Amino acid sequence: MFLKGKTALITGSTSGIGLAYAKAFAAEGAAVMINGFGEADAIEAERAKLAETSGANALYDAADMTKPDQIVAMVERCHAELGGPDIVVNNAGIQHVAPIDDFPPEKWDAIIAINLSSAWHMMRAAIPHMKARGWGRIITTASAHSMVASPNKSAYVAAKHGVVGITKTVALEVATHGITANCISPGYVWTPLVENQIPDTMKTRGLTREQVINDVLLDAQPTKEFVQPEEVAALAVFLCRDEAKSITGTNLPVDGGWTAA
């Protein structure tokens, strides 16, 4: 349990990739703070399991990632009640699929706020605590769409390209403080975010559900398999090891070969 004594704060972590991150950090002994939306009873059940797994404390915070003041308050609560945060994972994200001339401006604003701006606010609030301890790991879930584009995803692609730029810049700024900053860019992972975009894609492209899965989602991944959340989380855990201290400012794909071409 090499993360015993460390604290991890993961946004968008009540399900999907975010919850996989939380479980992986807890398995290495880290105290964790999870965040996101969902049924209160289900969230409490996951929180209790995380505490049992880690042997440390686990908390839930309902901060809204569109509200900078709530993001800052969550970081400060984490520091006060758990310590750290030593590890910050920017994972919260939403999606909307539509051509740009039919893309609702409010959807653009929400995607930029949650997928891009929230990561900036998290880093800004957490880095002083990391500097004080001389150690930190910032990990942001980007996407294969941080490197390549797909039609009908203008806001998402813009946001994911943006977080890579922020991450590179921050990595340079904190390089002498024992802090690393990296992006992990999964291909299609079977999560609620992916499942929920299927109806919009069916409507936009006039396809069946099976056609969207096989001919759109998995078409770009040479493995023809969805990435598993646990694979993404395992890479995040490695980035927290001392052996990974020279890996910073990078964007690491976990995409079944999607961006190899």
Domains and CATH numbers, the chain: 7-188+228-260 (3.40.50.720)
Q: What is the pLDDT along the chain (261 residues), one digit of tens a residue?
A: 999 999 999 999 999 999 999 999 999 999 999 999 999 999 999 999 999 999 999 999 999 999 999 999 999 999 999 999 999 999 999 999 999 999 999 999 999 999 999 999 999 999 999 999 999 999 999 999 999 999 999 999 999 999 999 999 999 999 999 999 999 999 999 887 788 889 988 998 999 999 999 998 899 899 999 999 999 999 999 999 999 999 999 999 999 999 997
Please report, for residues 21, 150, 230, the alpha-carbon distance to residue 217 in angstroms, rounded to integers and kept in the order given.
Answer: 23, 10, 19
87 close to 136: Cβ distance less than 8 angstroms: yes
Neighbours of 241 (CB within 10 A): 13
CA angle 225, 91, 182 (to 5 degrees): 90
Structural tokens at position 217: 């989602």
Please report, for residues 146, 185, 222, 231, the alpha-carbon distance to residue 252 in angstroms, rounded to integers and kept in the order given.
Answer: 10, 6, 17, 12
Beta bridge partners of 136: 179
Cα 241 to Cα 137: distance, rounded to the nearest angstrom: 9
Choose the catalytic residue: 21, 60, 156, 188: 156
Task: Write the DSSP symbol of residue 260.
Answer: G
Cα 166 to Cα 10: distance, rounded to the nearest angstrom: 18
Structural tokens at position 4: 């015993």
Contacts of 7 (CB under 8 A, 6+ apart): 30, 31, 32, 33, 78, 82, 83, 84, 85, 86, 87
DSSP 3-state of 186: strand
Q: Confirm whether 21 is a catalytic residue.
A: no
Which pTM does this prediction carry? Answer: 0.94
